[in-house]
Structure formats: structure tokens, C-alpha cells
Structure 1
């Protein structure tokens, strides 16, 4: 019942079309509860942050694929890796992906705790030693894994390299030289899967709680970020 209670009493994300995901609209409470209580699919463990659509148009799985990000304004392109890892492997994989960024990084915290109709908050911290950052993030593993309203991005301030651990608990890497990141995925048994789909490519729901919002504020302060955001 934990996820169900948060689903009803806490933060509910609507889909990008601005209405409740269709596959959830006509479910009974029992059907909804049963779906949201499913913690794994074919051995892939979910975090508490997000659940796929009831019709399972995308079944979560482990792997990564290459993409290309295109900036519509500038016309420039950047290679991208998108990855997904089972819960027991996810946070360690994220931490390993940070290593190729270098010894000093910048950090962006992303929040949608304020709910629908309010701008998401992005907070920036420049120049933090990577070992110091990792130590802080380990203290907030539960928040980063299980809060569907918290995301983080870590980037190299001297070259275009960025690792995102987003609200959907996907691992996204931007940069021109991605081989070290591909190897970091593979070393954690997250293998190339060009045809895989991600939970963001179908209807899905997020979960959060007041406790996670409080932990987010604690993390923000630990990182020395301004509270005036959004």
C-alpha cells in the first residue's frame, strides 16, 4: 500500500498531454492498487519513484541505447546515451558514470515538488570535488532512487560532458566522447540494447511524499544551493 498511498495523497504527475494517463482512468481501486504494488517485471526491479502504464506499453528493462540530441535553435547535435538499470544496480551505476567527468564538477538539482502549474526548480552549484559530491549523494541514496520529483545532473565545467539521473530514474549521458561511459554501463552489466524502450515513451505515473520534499531541501542545503528557485 505504500506506493498507492503516495499516489493518492502526495504528488501525482499528469502525462505530457495534460490529462490523467488514459490507461488509469477507468480502473477500480483494487486494480490500481494491484498495479502500483508491482515492484518488478521479468526480474527488473523498480524504484518507488515511477510506475509504467497499466497497459504496459513499455515494460521496464535493463540496458542502454545511443541517441542524438538536436538543438532546434542552433542546429547542433550531441551524442547521447540513455540507460536503465534494475534498482539493486541503479545507484552504483550512476556513481560509476560520474567518474569519467573528472575530479571537479558542477551540479544541478531538479525539482518538481511544487506541483502542477508551477515552474520546476533547477538549482546550480559550481566547482565541487567529485569525491565530496559522491559522499553527499550516498547519504541521500533513498531520495535520489525513490523520489519521483527529484532529478540531478552532474557536468564537467570545462568540456561538454553531462550525466543526468532524472525523475524517471533513467541514466542519461551527453557528450562527444562516450566510450568511457559505455564501458561504465557494461561493467555494471548494463548492455547495449538499440531497440529498447524507456518508461518515458509511454504513459506513466510518478510518486513522491512530504518526507522526500524535506530530504530534498536538506540535500540542497548540503550542496550549498540557493533556496530561491523555481
Structure 2
């Protein structure tokens, strides 16, 4: 699979930072053979991970498909925004993402996110306004491998006039924000991603991300194709 230990960065949610040292050591304590064996496992039952991320060695959370409802608290506006969080197997990921984009409308904004060259959970966001959906989807399909398998690249597509947003994040989770999510729920169900309010995601426990020099270069190419400024 080409996983190299030097390419891995442990990533934790903000509320887990206080235990980061303990969590890092759970991987550091592994032998090279144990590490390679764990990183080489991509399938858990019917669910196949992309190359972007791997769960904890102890499998605190076993990856599986499904979606659940959540709420994002916007402190600036002091409002709660409904959220769908979803995971799907590798072979369905890009098709599901592309179909989730359709309800956003014919003209959208796009953000690409990179944590290449960052440590401690930092990242850079690059923004492009007003792009036709068919053009955007064509470009994203050209970079399917990067978007699917790079653990340091994420993309968000939004319609600020709705407002609604669809993300394919660095963990290859699908996240939808907006006031009316029924069309997005239907898309997920059509792609065999069913509702499970007890579902836990790989981000909610220790996990590791993977990237390569080739993906760093491809991210730069994607940035130029989308007409974005800024360096990585």
C-alpha cells in the first residue's frame, strides 16, 4: 500500500488535545511489523476505507457506513445549524459526494482545504466564488484519486444563498450543513447509506492520516485548475 510511517500525522479533535500524548504513544509503541500490518487493513466487513486514514490500533471505533443527524453551533450568529454526518465505503464515496452536490444548485462556491506542511491540526483554506456546477464536478472527477485517498486534502462546496454546504473532508467523511436536509438524506439513502443515530465516526477516536509528495503536487494542480491563489 505504500504507507510510510514518516508520512503519518496523528489528528485529534480539539476536545481530545489534553490526552494527545497518551494517544500518540499507542502508535509509537508498535513495532514496524505491527504498524505495517494494521495500516495494511482497509476492509472492515463490507466497509472499505480509502488510503487517507486508518483507525486506532485498538479499534475503539470500527469503521462502517451510515449517517446521523447532528447540530453545529454558530457562535457568531448564536444559532444552531442542522448537520448530516455520513460515512460510506470507498467504491461509493465519490458518486455519493457528487450526487450530494446536485441540490446546491447550478452555481456554487468551493473551498479546498489542505493540512500539507502543517502540524498540530492546522490547515489552509482556499476559496473560489461562483463556479458552474458541471465545470466544478468535471474538475473534481479529474482529481478523484487525490480527493479520495489523500488524508490531508478536503473540499467543501456551498451555496451561500441557500445557505447549504457539502463537505468531503480529510477523513473522507461526508458532512452536510443547512436548514432543510431532506434532499440530502434521500441521496444518502439512495446510495445505501442508512440513518443510524448511534453511529460513531473514525474522527471520534485516535486515528492517523496519510499523504505523499505526489498528492502535495496534485493539490497544487487542483488549486490552479480552480483558479485559486495562495501557496502550500
TM superposition score normalised by structure 1 = 0.94
- SS across alignment from 1:154: strand
Asked whether 1:107 is paired with 2:104, we answer no
| Runs of 4+ residues over 6 Å off in structure 1 | none
**Distance in 1 between residues matched to 2:179 and 2:36, nearest whole Å:** 43
* 1:183 counterpart = 2:180: no
Aligned twin of 2:177: 174
1:144 paired with 2:147, answer yes
RMSD: 1.5
Which residue is 1:155 aligned to? 158
1:13 to 10, 13, 25: 10
Cα gap change, 1:118/1:193 in structure 2, threshold over 3 Å: closer, same or farther?
A: closer
Aligned match for 1:209, one of 201, 207, 212: 212
**Aligned positions, number:** 226
Q: Does 1:129 align with 2:132?
A: yes
SS in 1 for 2:91: helix
Per-residue deviation, residues 93-149 of structure 1 (Å, max 9, x unmatched): 000000000000000000000121684110000000000000000000000000000
Query: What is the CA–CA distance in structure 2 between the aligned matches of 1:24 and 1:119, rounded to whole Å?
Result: 21
Partner of 2:27: 24
Question: 2:63 & 2:120 partners in 1: Cα distance?
Answer: 29
Aligned partners of 1:154 and 1:162 also within 8 Å: yes
Contact 1:111 1:122 in 2 (8 A): yes
- With the length of structure 2 as denominator, give the TM-score of the two structures: 0.93
**Separation in 1 of the partners of 2:126 and 2:132?**
17
For the 8 Å contact 1:93–1:185, the answer to whether it is kept is yes
Compute the displacement of 1:71 (Å): 2.1
How far did 1:199 drift? 0.2
Please tell me whether residue 64 in structure 1 is matched to residue 61 in structure 2.
no
For 2:79, the equivalent position in structure 1 comes to 76
Name the CA distance, whole Å, in 2 between partners of 1:14 and 1:96. 28
Q: Mapping of 1:48-63 within 5 angstroms? A: 48-63=51-66
SS of the equivalent of 1:2 reads coil
**How far does the alpha carbon of each residue in 1:27-57 deviate from its partner, in whole angstroms, 9 at most, with x for none?**
1111111100001101200100000000001
